Amino acid sequence: MRRLVVMGLCLGLLEAQALKVKVKEESFITILEYGKELYKNPRDISCARCHGPLGEEKIITHYTQHGKERIFKAPPIYDLSFERFKNALERGKSIMPRYNLTLDEIKAIYYYITSIRSNKQN
């Protein structure tokens, strides 16, 4: 009787491990694809909306301040160091929102934006 219980538990664990592996195989996505999806819509506000499809400088709006015409621009992000990129996403600054992304999500976006930019230049 005891052997049957132990054998049943072992079979149950083996089946659970098989399901775990199967789920990973079905949901496989490359870091480049993951970064692209996050760049397009990390937390309801697209990075591309302000930084364009390649992470370049982009004019957000024109406004008047103290009687002078001003331009508000989003800076280029494709050439930032990883630390500056990470800090901007974690802290936010000015109009840049704080996204509350995980380190893996930040790495994926950084990999994507630096990869597509270098591919466009080649």
Write the DSSP assignment of the chain as a string of letters. -HHHHHHHHHHHHHHHHHHHHHHHHHT---HHHHHHHHHH-SSSS-HHHHHTTTT--EEEEEEEETTEEEEEEEPP-TT--HHHHHHHHHH-BTTBPP----HHHHHHHHHHHHHHHHHHH-
Number of domains observed in the structure of the chain: 1
pLDDT band at 65 (very low <50, low <70, confident <90, very high): very high
The alpha carbon of 95 is separated from its chain's Cα centroid by a whole number of angstroms, namely 19
Query: Residues 40-64: what's their mean pLDDT?
Result: 87
pLDDT of residue 10: 45
* CATH code, domain carrying 40: 1.10.760
pLDDT of residue 8: 44
- Residue 14, in any domain of the structure: no
- Residue 16, in any domain of the structure: no
pLDDT of residue 26: 55
Tell me: pLDDT of 34 over 70. Answer: yes
- Residue 37, in any domain of the structure: yes
* Residue 109: domain span: 29-121
pLDDT of residue 33: 93
Tell me: pLDDT of 14 over 60. Answer: no
- Residue 95, in any domain of the structure: yes
pLDDT of residue 25: 52
